[in-house]
Structure 1
Amino acid sequence: MDIKLQKKLLYRSSWRVCLIGTWSVLGGYGEAMCTSWGEERCTSISGGRRGKGVVLHSWLFVLLLFSALLGQASPQCPDSCHCAWDTATVHCSDTGLREIPEGIPPETVYLHLERNYIRSIPETAFSDLVHLRDLYLSHNRIDSLASGALRHLGSELRLLDLSHNQLKQASREEFGSTRAKMRLYHNPWHCDCTLQELMENLNLEPETVNGIMCESSVRGVGEGSRWEDPGSQGEHAGQSLVKLLDSGVNFCSLQRKTTDVAMLVTMFVWFFMVIVYVVYYVRQNQAEARRHLEYLKSLPSPRKTPTETDTLSTGF
């Protein structure tokens, strides 16, 4: 065979696209549609029928099928957010959000929620984001985390940024068992035993760990009664929590001592009130008894009649 003819046949066969589908229109005819750049014949699977209407319907069916599949494959992006599907990134920064937006795609890997007005994180805010790796929540107004709010985050989470918020207290129940790197600096933390136990179990980012400052702290035994100066922030206010723990400060020990002192004071007050009540009760009873005796003494004695006197003297 001629070489040019072979190349020509190879060229023509390489550009041929055959798409075989089942198409049912009122009669249920199966069609095979072939297109090529050369002269080709299209024959029907059911008997050799060929018609422009069937070909047009077949193309329409294919387009509708592809559009439906494309619509199912492309998740919706939340309002006020920008989604980059190629990197599975959702950008919701600087959009004035006051709460975690709904409808975040479950395939999200990187979620940016910085510089908004979010105040709290509900328990189910991230329950569907099992593939999330980086979660940025810095520069918001978050002051509370629901119990288990971060527990639903999957094991793929690598970074959780909660810096520059209004967090004062947190516990292990809120963070769950995540081992992601944490950014918790620039929050008005109240340093106590609960926060100490939390920090000892979290994977804090080394570069920012010294920025976790105590705006207030639990008061020790030597700081006086907690009711004397409610505005006092404690002797460790304004110091780095990590540096305090490294220097040997144990907030759990301080809290236990403070609790013991408070318990002793409470017991003393309770016993004092009981004693005062008993003394008052006894004195009231004594006063009532004296008044009753005085009343009995003030009563006139009964006079005896002559008949009663004779009876008493004679015995009859």
Structure 2
Amino acid sequence: MGASRMFVPSVRRPPTGSLLLLGLLLWVGARACPKVCHCTERNGVVVQCTSRNLESIPSELPKDTVVLLLSSNRIRRVPKEALADLRRLRELDLSHNSLESVEDGAFAGVADSLRSLDLSNNQLSRLPRDTFTKLHAQVRLSQNPWHCECSLQEVLRELRLDPETVNEVSCFTSVREEYVGQPVIQVLDSGINFCNFHHKTTDVAMFVAMFCWFFMVTAYIVYYIKHNQEDARRHMEYLKSLPSTSHVSKDYDTASSVF
């Protein structure tokens, strides 16, 4: 009797060409360029999206993007983690847009790699305090309608301003009118502390609130006393209007003597 043979199912391997095609598709997907932009290779991908009438940052960008140029569009905001997948990004230009807000965490994922960030010539007046936390980039903030207050002072403390445009970061509005139109850095270098103004304003507000509370309590006490005095006066007048006890006694004695 012949030896039995064990059945081993054969594994069908995909053709080598299919593997290459799959790898190519994955590579192309990782480096796909947005249709509205132009991409070139330069030790990574340079994505040119300048003057393309964009209203938001393109969502499908090559993961190995090193330069992203988005100037002269109509972008209004930079949302949280908008660039989180671009771990190699070194330069980001968002100048000459309509930026009104940059959300906290907008530069998450690129804080370590980013070296140049241009937010100039936009409509920024305020920024979240932790906008630039751990960011090593040199930042341009010139030609924005900044409101000079404590939060802006704390934001500036966290970043490296571009020295060429530092004097173009000016107070468009301010907690103190005399600083309007002046470069923010010059105001801060003169020893002004916007956070002190904030604390003083808060203290004044608390004092006013306490004074109003004290005034209301005092007014209530005065009203309560006057109201009680009025009740007491009416009660006394009522008692006076009653027949006198001595008069009733005399009438009773007279009646007794008659009988």
TM-score relative to the length of structure 1: 0.67
> How many percent identity over aligned positions?
47
- Between the aligned partners of 2:209 and 2:126, the Cα distance in structure 1 is 26
Partner of residue 133, structure 2: 176
1:144 aligns with 2:101: yes
Alignment of 1:237-252 (within 5 A): 237-252=180-195
CA distance in 1, matches of 2:127, 2:167: 18
3-state SS of paired residue (1:110): strand
Larger CA deviation: 187-196 vs 67-76: 67-76
- 8 Å CA contact 1:121–1:146 kept in 2: the answer is yes
**Counterpart in the other structure of 2:122:** 165
SS in 2 for 1:269: helix
In 2, the alpha carbon distance for the partners of 1:297 and 1:82 equals: 103
Question: 1:68 aligned to 2:68?
Answer: no
| Cα shift readout 1:80-101 (whole Å, capped 9, x = no counterpart) | 2222245411222212222222
Question: SS at 2:179's partner residue?
Answer: coil
C-alpha distance 285-249 of structure 1, shift in aligned 2 (>3 A): same
Cα distance change, pair 194–29 in 1 and its aligned pair in 2 (3 A)? closer
CA contact (8 A) 2:63 2:87 kept: yes
Of the two, which has the highest radius of gyration?
A: 1
3-state SS in 1 of match to 2:157: helix
For these two proteins, the number of residue pairs brought into alignment is 240
Preserved contact between residue 151 and residue 175 of structure 1 (Cα < 8 Å): no
Q: Secondary structure at the match of 2:68?
A: strand
Q: Which amino acid aligns with 1:74?
A: V
Distance 1:64 1:85, change over 3 A: farther
Q: Does the CA contact (< 8 Å) of 1:131 and 1:154 recur in 2?
A: no
Contact between 2:126 and 2:146, CA under 8 Å: does it hold in 1? yes
C-alpha displacement of 1:283: 1.7
- Confirm or deny that 1:289 pairs with 2:245: no
- The residue that corresponds to 2:206 in the other structure is 263
Is contact 1:151–1:177 with CA below 8 Å preserved after alignment? no
Q: Does 1:132 align with 2:86?
A: no
Paired amino acid for 1:78: P
Question: For structure 2, which runs of at least 5 residues remain unmatched after alignment?
Answer: 1-9
Match of 2:170 in 1: 213
Contact 1:115 1:138 in 2 (8 A): yes
> In the alignment, what sits opposite 1:94?
51
Q: Is the 1:183–1:208 Cα contact (8 Å) retained in structure 2?
A: yes
Give the equivalent residue in structure 2 for 1:80: 36
Instruction: Using the TM superposition, give the Cα deviation of residue 159 of structure 1 relative to its aligned residue in structure 2, in angstroms.
Output: 0.5
Quickly say closer, same or farther: Cα 1:129–1:298, change in 2 above 3 A: farther
Q: Is the 8 A contact 1:151 1:176 kept in 2?
A: no
Q: Distance in 2 between matches of 1:111 and 1:29?
A: 44
Which deviations, in whole Å up to 9, do the C-alpha atoms of 1:92-123 show, x marking residues without a partner? 22122222221222211111111111111111
